[in-house]
Structure 1
Amino acid sequence: MKKILFRKLLLDYLKFFIISLFSASIIIWVFQAVNFLDIMIEDGRDYTVYIKYSLLSLPKIINKIYPFALFFSLFYVTTKYETNNELIIFWNFGVHKIELINFIMKISLIFMVVQILLASLIVPSTQDIARSFLRSSSVNFFGNFIKPQRFNDTIKNVTIYSEKKDSDGNLFNLYLKKETDINNFQITYAKKGFFKEINKFPILVLFDGQTITVKDGQTTNIGFTKSDFPLKNIETNTMTYTKTQELSTKNLFLCIEIIQKTKSDIIKTNIENCSKQNLNNIYKEFYKRLIVPLYIPLLTLVPLLLIISSKESSNYNKIKLLTFLIGLFSIIFSETTIRFVSEIFLFNFTISIIPIIIFLFLYLFFLKNFSIRKFN
């Protein structure tokens, strides 16, 4: 009978957890996808790149929501069981409160492993793949990112300004500046222009203008009635390098090992962002992936503070409010500690064992309140 009761409780926890996790994640993802759409349009990216990039951001959102969804699910279901007198069934069938706590504690280890896998393997991988789409894609919708009366610098080393733009995509009173290096550049003025493609290469066709070229201190001025401004092999100003958060956990380990073995400030490695100047960020990313999930067992035990007292108790509502605040504070605290990670190993170690210490303290608190006895 005990197994049936525990199975029913676990299924209720899982059902509400999965619903709350994915519901909240999808809502946040929709809002974020709208922002991505604006960025992609301004950057002139293809819609297929936008779809792939936005979809691959979902695992990161799920990872962020995971701790709160887990705590809230356990808190809500435990409160519901107490309100509906379903916990009394557990006690009447000989389930001791410490047995329930031990059961949830074992389940919490599985939840912890899931988040470690999510944070250390799935999220970095999907973030790197998403970034690779930007690295390998090109600007396709050129007419989209040209906003009238704004200096548009989406294209690297090229600035385009247009006074107005009609419904057919024609641009009027254009200013273009193309930089080849610090001292050499080209400025073009034109009364009208529009984008077209020739052999799949974009070209800005300009009418009635002049081009001023500055090269090695010499200036030339050429007028034209029609001129083609090619945009072949262009790059955007969007960051396409691999960020620290996109590095695989294996590369983080290797990077830390290389830095510790290298006495020189110059690190010779193929791992991007692997440098002594970036060591603090590497430690923070490592902490976020492997240490923050250690708060999961703690977050699963906190809702069980509700079983200390029954709903008939005069202070039950206070305990319920305090339990929710403790769980919320634990989530905020776990994220806040990331900022305190430094290059000092002893300090990092101290921060890392905080969730273990708090967990043991809470478990001992339960042992003290619920007498330990032999169970049948």
Structure 2
Amino acid sequence: MPKLACVAGEPSGDLLAAPVLSALNQIPDMANLEVYGIGGPRMQAEGMRSEWPMETLSVRGYVEAIKQLPAILKVRKELIQNLTGEGRPDVYLGVDAPDFNLGVELHLRKAGIPTLHLVSPSIWAWRAGRIQKISQAVERMLCIFPFETEIYDRAGVASTYVGHPLASEIPLEPNVNQAREKIIQALKLSKNSLDGIVIAVLPGSRSSEIELIAPVFFETMELLSKQLQGQKLSFLIPVATPKLRAPLEALLLKTSNGNPDVEIHLLDGMADEVLEASDVVLIASGTATLQAALWKKPMVISYKVPWLTAQIMKRQGYLPYVGLPNILCGEFVVPELLQDEATPDKLAKALQEWLNNPGKVAQLKTRFAQMHETLRRPTGLLVAQAVAQTIASSRQKRVNL
């Protein structure tokens, strides 16, 4: 039976890897493939056996990672011992989470286990020196952005552009009315509840993000409601994971008590529907910003990390922007308000600028449509084929020994 070890360290990785496992199930030689490692609910739904909780690895930033370090190191040690022993796979697929996966891949490759990595670390944005470690740890880098392969070619690292799976899952044309109807049904609202301006608010998928940026987002919603008094505003917040609902409900209660006229709705999941239904988006930096761009939405990107984390990242940064839409377009097509710039006043003003400039919004939608076409590839199948080919090659080498 062929074996694939796979590790995704956070919800975005779970989202990326699930279509790969689905595609592997359609490849005849992979029909009996055993998949195990670390993954989330989407990967498990495709038949993966997750042997450690993904939440242990779901941290962002240096300060946050230090707090979680003992637990992360324990998982890494157990994983390496397992995969170089009884659980030895034919191939290892690391999905994003480079701080964790590259270390594992380095050990496994030295032990003769082929290693693939899906999603290049952001060497084009910061920590360019990391490519030396990648060349030692990764047999083939599977790139989700088209400009990355040239960087790896120059460094002598095998790479393949596989596109971004979200670009295939998200339709080229949003259906705003249909999305609003789904949300109305999910929330059991009256028929015309979302007839006014709908603002999607995505404060992140990690507890640290909710702690740092969500309070500012709620203050922004309250301020915007006051500034646009007389206009019907609806704020929609998709709750990324169940554990985030309680802190978001606490913020909602505090805001509602201060201003009962602010209409804020929390939805379990449904991020795609919320983005599709929206007129404008207030969003924390991360994969979700690409989601919003693929839905062709004007957005304001914001983020806050602890001061020390910000200083470390600033010293290692190479690009002037952090948001994926701006990185892919090579310029500031949407505003970024980070750290001290992330104030309710500035965020509310930036959101209003989109609402007041339909011509500018139309230009942005055209730009995002072009981006969508570039990223639209059969990603799951291309990655699955790379895995299947590597497994076949690995097994053939063992036969020849």
TM-score above 0.5, yes or no? no
Query: If you compute each CA radius of gyration, which structure gives the higher value, 1 or 2?
Result: 1
Q: TM-score, normalised by structure 2?
A: 0.26
Structure ranking higher in helix proportion? 1
Q: TM-score, normalised by structure 1?
A: 0.27
